[in-house]
Amino acid sequence: MKNLKSIDEHRKLIQKIKDGGRVITYGMRDETYVHYAESFLPREAVMANFDGDENKWGKRLDMGAMTLPPDQLAPTADMADGIIVMCAGISQIGEFMDGLGVDYYYGRIMQEKIHPDICKNMIQPEADKVEANKANIDFARSLLADDLSLKVYDSLLSARLSVDSLERFNLIRNAYTNDQYFPANVPGFFPAKDEVFVDGGAFDGDTIKRFIELTGGEYKHIHAFEPDLKNFAKLEEFAASHKNITCYRKGLYSVETTLEFMTTGSSASYFQNSEHAHIPSDGNYSTMRIDVCSLDKTRQDKTINGR
C-alpha cells in the first residue's frame, strides 16, 4: 500500500493536529475515540468521520463529528491535513484510499507510546493462550502443506504476540490476499466452470460477484444464504441481474431452528452467542430471531440437489 506512512510521519501529523490542524477519520466509533484516540485527537480537530456502514450515515459521534458515506470522502479530503483510518480491514480500505489518490494514516500506529499498559494488557492474554495451547497450535501448523498457508498462519500468530503496532500491522498485511476465497495459487480453491456454488453469509453478493468473474458466468447454479434483512434486499437486487441464483433469507447452521441474530446491515452481522455476547456501543444494530437451516437438509428437501 503506497500510502502507508512511517512512525515519524504519523507523529508529525499528531503534532500538526495538536497545533490546530484538522483531519478526517475513517471507521471511528464512539468507543474508539473514548478508549484510544482522545489522547491525540482534540474534538475540534475532526472535520468528519466516514464509514462504509450505511446505518451510521448522518449520525454524530459523541465527539461531535458527523459520519458520512465513503463516496463523499474525496472532495472533503482536500480540506484536511490528513486522513486517519481507525478500524480494522486496513488492506481493503487502503485500496479504496489508493483509488482516490489520497494520503492516509493508520490510526492504531499513532500511539506515541502513550498507552504501553493498554498494549500489554491486550497482548498478554494472547501470549497465555498460545503457551497453554502450544501443542494444538503446532499440530494445526503441521496440517498445512503449501507455503502460502504456512506464511499466513505464522504471520497472524506472530501479529497476535507483537507489542509493536507497526510490526503487528505489517505482519497482518503480509498475510492479506485480495482473493480471500479464490486464491489461484492454492489448488482446489479456484472455481471451475459448470459448478454449483454455495455462499453462506452472502452479504450483498460481493463474493458471488467475484465467483461469476472467475467462471466467466459459466456456472451451473449459485445458492446464497443471508439472514440480515438489509443485506438480503441488496443480495436479491444483485441476483436479479444474474442467472441461476437462488437466495435464502436464512442462516446456515447444524440443524433447523431459530437463533438470536445481531443485524447491522453490513458485513459485520452475526449470531448472538450469550456465552461471548458483545453489544456494539454505537447503537447501529438490532437483534431479531432468524431461521437457520442445515445445508444437508436443504439439499434433501429440494433445491441444491441436482443443480
Q: Are 69 and 131 within one domain?
A: no
Grid coordinates representing 183 are 486464491
Q: Given 52, 83, 109, which residue is the final one in a domain? A: 109
Judge contact between 294 and 255, C-beta under 8 A.
yes
Q: Are 98 and 11 within one domain?
A: yes
Give the range of the structural domain holding residue 102, as residue numbers without chain letter: 7-109
Q: Are 290 and 203 within one domain?
A: yes
271 belongs to a structural domain = yes
Q: Given 87, 109, 131, which residue is the final one in a domain? A: 109
Rounded Cα distance, 2 and 16, in Å: 22
Number of domains in the chain: 3
Q: Are 134 and 152 within one domain?
A: yes
Specify the CATH number for the domain of residue 232: 3.40.50.150
Q: Are 226 and 273 within one domain?
A: yes
Rounded Cα distance, 83 and 96, in Å: 13
pLDDT of residue 249: 92
pLDDT of residue 274: 42
188 belongs to a structural domain = no
52 belongs to a structural domain = yes
191 belongs to a structural domain = no
pLDDT in tens, 228-273: 888 899 999 999 999 999 999 998 888 888 887 766 555 555 555 5
% pLDDT > 90, the chain = 27
For the chain, what's the residue count?
A: 307
Type of residue at 160: R
Q: What does the buried/exposed string (b/e) look like for 101-118 if buried means 16 or more CB atoms within 10 Å of the residue's CB?
A: ebbbbbbbbbbeeeeeee
Grid coordinates representing 258 are 431459530
Q: Are 74 and 18 within one domain?
A: yes
pLDDT of residue 123: 59
| Residues ≥6 apart with Cβ < 8 Å to 135 | none
Specify the CATH number for the domain of residue 43: 3.40.50.720
Q: Are 208 and 225 within one domain?
A: yes
182 belongs to a structural domain = no
181 belongs to a structural domain = no
Q: Are 95 and 124 within one domain?
A: no
Q: Are 201 and 280 within one domain?
A: yes
Q: Are 94 and 135 within one domain?
A: no
26 belongs to a structural domain = yes
Q: Is 197 helix (H, G, I), strand (E, B) or coil?
A: strand
Q: Provide the edge-to-edge strand list for the sheet that holds 82-85.
A: 67-68, 46-50, 23-26, 82-85, 105-106
pLDDT in tens, 268-292: 555 555 444 444 444 445 577 788 8
pLDDT in tens, 58-115: 999 888 899 999 999 998 988 999 898 887 666 678 778 888 888 888 776 555 444 4
| Residues ≥6 apart with Cβ < 8 Å to 144 | 150, 153
Q: Are 209 and 289 within one domain?
A: yes
Q: Given 93, 109, 125, which residue is the final one in a domain? A: 109
pTM: 0.58
307 belongs to a structural domain = no
